[in-house]
Amino acid sequence: MASCMELERCNQIPLSATATTPCARPWRPLPERTLILTRRRPRPNLGLVLNRTTLAHANCILPKRHRIAAMARAEPDKLGGDDCDRDIQEVSKGRELVGEEEDSVAEVKRKASQLRKRIVSGIGIGVSVGGMVLAGGWGFTLTVAVAVFVASREYFELVRSRGIAAGMTPPPRYVSRVCSVICTVMPLLTLYFGQIDIPVIFAAFAVAMALLLQRGNPRFAQLSSTMFGLFYCGYLPCFWIKLRCGLSAPALNTRLGSVWPVLLGGQAHWTVGLVATLISVSSVIAADTFAFIVGKAFGKTPLISVSPKKTWEGTIAGLGGCIATSVILSKIFSWPASVISAIAFGFLNFFGSIFGDLTESMIKRDAGVKDSGSLIPGHGGILDRVDSYIFTGALAYSFVKAFLPLYGV
């Protein structure tokens, strides 16, 4: 810290314990860094320069003929009395407040930038996924397969992380890679064969044999984490293929089908599977959006310790938004026919989304990480973005396939 003293003109006098006026004897050199000052003019001002901030203190000059130790680099707290110390402390506190304010402004800018990235990424993902849902067939299936591959890689990296691996033995890396490939192939086999039960059984058997026959001492934790990975990242996403592409009955009452271009499939393109998929995906998006906004603004009551940021206020708002979206879209698409069915469909979509979100939060909590990856700006990894949809597809398909025909509503 730079410091300086501006002192008015004064006379040097010899060092004498009793002298009060200049002595007549020859002047002798004074000790190093010692000055005897005599004031001939009105009280001078002492100026301190602290980090480009100048403080002028007219009342902080020491008494007349007092000896001052003038150091080359004198500290500011030694240059004045109690008033000076108090003023310097106030300046220090002011600088601390300015620093805290600058930090808070930087934090607000960082959060605003992150929110902007989140919104832009969310819109881009929503438009791309919406186009693939409308396209259906192999385009939609390949999109699901790519998402499954990345999500499975992130899952097995979480399993191998320090937090989880400290309490269990993770599967070998080659087994993790093979499982990721198997999970990627599952959606393709689902579209080709129309069902996935037999391929999943054979895949699980092959992976279990590979783990049991590996070198060293096989552990049950390896088997359980690998089997859950096949179920969580491979088998459950296949229900989206069965929902979108397997339910090919035309939704004849949908008004959009009458104006849909013939080159894009015409009226026959709007099937029950397409309408159910659009309603389900839109309901989950509405649930996440309402829960995020209301939870940020009014959330005070924690929902569960697995995910501390989730609140009851946000959860209730998400449920209301999910059901409202399901009912509104059911009126637009004229499916399902009754309001009760639309409400039940929205409730199942919300339950699947919140359960999938909490499951992934539990995995990340054990792994000791905030995000499963960093692929999507503002969102983290693919698994962070699709966790709400993993269980939702199975519930939506079961609702359309079993509940609606059974009760005819």
Identify which has the larger pLDDT, 343 or 162: 343
> 142 and 32: one domain?
no
CB atoms within 10 A of CB 168: 15
Q: Answer whether 318's CB lies under 8 Å from 357's CB.
A: no
Within a domain: residue 107? no
Confidence band of 367 (pLDDT split at 50, 70, 90): confident
Tell me which of 168 and 272 has the higher pLDDT.
Answer: 272
Mark whether 383 and 318 lie in a shared domain. Answer: yes
Over residues 308-328, the mean pLDDT reads 94
| CA distances in angstroms from 285 to 130, 384, 387, listed in the order given | 12, 14, 12
Measure the CA–CA gap between 325 and 332, rounded to whole angstroms: 11
Q: How confident is the model at residue 213 (pLDDT cuts 50, 70, 90)?
A: confident
Residue 353 has pLDDT above 50, yes or no: yes
- Buried-exposed string 50-64: b where 16+ CB fall within 10 A, e elsewhere: beeeebebeebbeee
Residue 88 belongs to some domain of the structure: no
Structural domain contains residue 86:
no
Q: Are residues 63 and 203 in the same domain?
A: no
Report which of residues 394 and 87 the model is more confident about: 394
Q: How many CA atoms lie within 13 A of 41 on its CB side?
A: 7
Domain count, the chain: 2
282-306 pLDDT, tens per residue?
Answer: 999 999 999 989 998 998 899 998 8
User: Are residues 47 and 128 located together in one domain of the fold?
Assistant: no
Burial label, 166 (beta-carbon count in 10 A; 0-12, 13-18, 19+): exposed
372: confidence class by pLDDT, cuts 50, 70, 90: confident
- pLDDT, one tens digit per residue, over 134-157 is 999 999 999 999 999 999 999 999
Report if residue 57 sits inside a domain. yes
Q: Which residue has the tokens 């359960």?
A: 355
**Ramachandran region, residue 310 (left: φ > 0; alpha: ψ -120 to 50; beta: rest):** beta
Do residue 315 and residue 380 come from a single domain?
Answer: yes
Q: Is residue 89 part of a domain?
A: no
Q: Do the domain assignments include residue 243?
A: yes
Residues 68 and 160 placed together within one structural domain of the fold: no
Domain boundary among 59, 81, 103: 81
Q: In this structure, are 224 and 140 located in the same domain?
A: yes
Q: Please indicate, yes or no, whether residues 77 and 119 belong to a single structural domain of this protein.
A: no
pLDDT class for 312, splitting at 50, 70, 90? very high
Q: Which pLDDT belongs to residue 337?
A: 86
pLDDT mean over 322-340: 93
Question: Which domain does 276 fall in, by range?
Answer: 112-407
pLDDT in tens, 32-49: 544 455 445 555 444 444
Q: What is the DSSP string of 225-270?
A: HHHHHIIIIIITTHHHHIIIII---B-TT-HHHHHS-GGGTGGGG-
User: Which domain-ending residue is among 81, 96, 127?
Assistant: 81
What is the pLDDT, as a whole number, of residue 408? 56
Question: Does residue 116 sit in the same domain as residue 74?
Answer: no
Q: What is the pLDDT of residue 108?
A: 74
| 212 pLDDT more than 90 | no
Examine the pLDDT at 132 and tell me if it is beyond 70. Answer: yes
Residue 385 belongs to some domain of the structure? yes
Whether residues 257 and 322 share a domain: the answer is yes
Residue at 87 is within a domain: no
SS3 content of the chain, % helix, strand, coil (to 5): 65, 5, 30
- Compute the distance between CA of residue 398 and CA of residue 248 in angstroms, rounded to an integer: 15
If asked whether residues 122 and 59 sit together in one domain, one would say no
Considering the domain architecture, whether residues 65 and 122 belong to the same structural domain is answered as no
Name the one residue in this structure whose structure tokens are 């002298």: 19
